[in-house]
Structure 1
């Protein structure tokens, strides 16, 4: 990302605050101008108070003037910093809002291809780096460049011969900054990437801490983490050393100039003590802003590297949603017409699948791992689109439906339950917290056999359940997920081994509730344990992305095919 592109993208978030930025800049200019007057005041103090007769009234005037300059400069600088901080934090907030909104609109394929940690790092670490360009970098640039301009002008005004050394100094400083820019940006990009990988590794180890301990993987994971932070340290060291070289180079040049001033002002040029002090003080004050201008390149390159990451996410293609028809009160008639699909061009996951599911019918999908069961569900929910063929609901191609209206007609219970760090009520009424009544929530809890344990919780339906339901048992989490599906009351129900985490007694109770919930609904069951699908109206057997047989449990057992073999393996093996 080049300078022009970076600032044009950042300007989109800054343009609403142009007035505040101008105010911030003006305040900082006033503060800088007042600070820059100090060398002249000190020079006159020496000449008028110490080199001549000392006058009490004159001393009071200079004392008050110096105090006033410092107080006013501090007030202007503080006001500028406050306004700048407000703008910076507003930009951070706006960027995060846009990034989170984009995350919610990204296709499932994005999350399949990008590690969670890297995405988290974009919203946490990277966006903070960009915000620096919106406030502190800009403020430093205004203050430092204004100081340099005023002080250099003042030095030429006081003595143009001594100031000629600056004509050599400034171009050399510019050259040092330009040569270091690419190195700094390259290292900063590597730091951004490593931070993303580190966040992902931390996420894995925190969520999988039990596995790490059980498998004694602490040393293995520690090695991964240490390698990552070592890489981050090395890249940051490169950035810091480049900045340090620039600063050292500038210090040497300024030191050379100051030495020249001392020598020539005391030998060849007739300068009074006050004039020398003014000139020397101004040149000394030039050191800090000159170094700031050099060092400003470091956070700027970091911000630009972060910009590639953040704006790259914002520019990601959103989930395809070209459908315009609204699906309401679906009958639940689902049809797969010669559907084929592959996650990439090299593999085929589903091959010429044709399946007609009638309204209210319960269909179970069985087959070994990788046979395509889950992919059928992904296509039905429009997380992916078929590479060939079509899928219809109530006789209309799902590609014609608006995505949200399509998914509003589908409820889903996964064997890998995902709960949110919210209340019990918030999890049951997910997506409908403002519209779903307490009566509906309570009914869903009773039907799913969750009501009893909810009543025993400290705040009942208002109890916070922790990250991913950490405060609940496996069976309680599963029942809460089932309650969520019941509360949604959708005509199409998808169950992915929904009772897998329940004990035998609870499973019977919940299975009865699920049987009740399935009435007048089209239900698709992804089955791993064949005991859960024997009552299905139809069982569809998949192998390597193809339907090889289908029928009732009895018909398939009598056919002595793939299903009969799987059944025998599970119950007689």
Structure 2
């Protein structure tokens, strides 16, 4: 068998910004190896969701080689999504076949109808996820709570063992027990820390020095974010106009709009 020597995800010198706003990423580089799991952390507005959407191919960024997933262009090579090799599970649920735009998971049908309607699934994996997320197959999706609906969404997103699975705030709307059980389902082997569109750190958790002197990963991340917040508070609110640099994005064709993301 031919050996694959490429990364699962590789971002090289990426530049990106939304129209009319400051750049989100400037010369951003990231590499994630096959078989690894990466936990993305950062304060609100640091660019985490934007980065995940870019990796999912929802925004065009630069040329074909700037953002590559499984050695393919994340935006241009649509077979990544069609084949099921790449999946993005974000804040809202959308069908991947035969529909356009966002379709809320709120129709008058059962959880069983949704979950068992996915073809080509390992039944053992399906039963494990149903038990893990404590899903009642008789739930009517238009009557359940946001947390219960979220459980069904997560279950459907994890039914297939995708080669690259992007999860954005996957524990939103889940109670404490469900969050802990779900996080135990994953093994966070790598950590990437983003601040103001810049990749500050990327480490193996086993090599994270702060973790050896801290109770848990949450405490380490909290210390980073508190330090970041305190630093931001000390910065002047309105810097003098003469100190403001012209953005390289002002004439760039690769600006994007939050409302014009490419859905697929």
Shift of 1:441: 6.4
2:173 matches 1:497: no
Q: Is the 8 A contact 1:381 1:407 kept in 2?
A: no
What's the counterpart of residue 36 of structure 2? 361
What's the counterpart of residue 567 of structure 1? 222
Shift of 1:445: 4.7
Q: Is the 8 A contact 2:54 2:74 kept in 1?
A: no
Worse overlay, 406-415 or 380-389: 406-415
Decide whether aligned partners of structure 1 residues 424 and 442 sit closer, same or farther in structure 2, where only a CA change above 3 A counts: farther
Shift of 1:510: 2.7
Q: Distance in 2 between matches of 1:399 and 1:452?
A: 35
Q: Give CA deviations for 1:527-560 in whole Å, capped at 9, x if unaligned.
A: xxxxxxxx52221111111112221345252799
Q: Is the 8 A contact 1:499 1:507 kept in 2?
A: yes
Residue correspondence of structure 1 range 298-377 to structure 2 within 5 A: 333-344=8-19, 346-377=21-52
Q: Distance in 2 between matches of 1:536 and 1:550?
A: 12
Q: Give CA deviations for 1:211-269 in whole Å, capped at 9, x if unaligned.
A: xxxxxxxxxxxxxxxxxxxxxxxxxxxxxxxxxxxxxxxxxxxxxxxxxxxxxxxxxxx
Q: Give CA deviations for 1:362-403 in whole Å, capped at 9, x if unaligned.
A: 111111111111111111111111146611123333355135
2:57 matches 1:379: no
2:84 matches 1:402: no
2:137 matches 1:485: no
2:241 matches 1:555: no
Which one has more relative contact order, counting CA pairs under 8 Å at least 6 apart?
A: 2
Q: Distance in 2 between matches of 1:407 and 1:558?
A: 38
Decide whether aligned partners of structure 1 residues 549 and 333 sit closer, same or farther in structure 2, where only a CA change above 3 A counts: same
Q: Distance in 1 between matches of 2:35 and 2:42?
A: 23
Shift of 1:479: 1.9
Q: Distance in 1 between matches of 2:36 and 2:68?
A: 16
What's the counterpart of residue 88 of structure 2? 412
**136, 145, 155: which one aligns with 1:454:** 136
2:196 matches 1:544: yes
Q: Distance in 1 between matches of 2:114 and 2:7?
A: 25
Q: Is the 8 A contact 1:343 1:349 kept in 2?
A: yes
Residue correspondence of structure 1 range 136-535 to structure 2 within 5 A: 333-344=8-19, 346-387=21-62, 390-402=66-78, 405=81, 408-415=84-91, 419-421=105-107, 422-428=109-115, 433=117, 436=119, 440=122, 443-449=125-131, 453-455=135-137, 460=138, 464-466=140-142, 471-512=143-184, 514-515=185-186
Shift of 1:333: 1.3
Shift of 1:565: 6.9
Q: Is the 8 A contact 1:425 1:441 kept in 2?
A: no
Aligned length: 205
Normalising by the residue count of structure 2, what TM-score does the alignment of the two structures yield? 0.63
Decide whether aligned partners of structure 1 residues 403 and 446 sit closer, same or farther in structure 2, where only a CA change above 3 A counts: same
Q: Distance in 2 between matches of 1:356 and 1:408?
A: 21
Q: Is the 8 A contact 2:43 2:225 kept in 1?
A: no
Decide whether aligned partners of structure 1 residues 448 and 354 sit closer, same or farther in structure 2, where only a CA change above 3 A counts: farther
Greater C-alpha Rg: 1
Decide whether aligned partners of structure 1 residues 357 and 464 sit closer, same or farther in structure 2, where only a CA change above 3 A counts: same
SS in 2 for 1:374: helix
SS in 1 for 2:18: coil
SS in 2 for 1:360: coil
Q: Distance in 1 between matches of 2:212 and 2:17?
A: 31
Shift of 1:443: 4.3
Q: Distance in 1 between matches of 2:45 and 2:225?
A: 18
Q: Is the 8 A contact 2:16 2:23 kept in 1?
A: yes
Q: Is the 8 A contact 2:133 2:151 kept in 1?
A: no
RMSD: 3.6
Task: Please state which structure has a larger fraction of its residues in strand.
Answer: 2
Q: Distance in 1 between matches of 2:148 and 2:7?
A: 29
What's the counterpart of residue 31 of structure 1? none
Shift of 1:472: 1.9
Unaligned runs of 5+ in 2: 1-5, 94-103, 227-264
Decide whether aligned partners of structure 1 residues 426 and 412 sit closer, same or farther in structure 2, where only a CA change above 3 A counts: farther
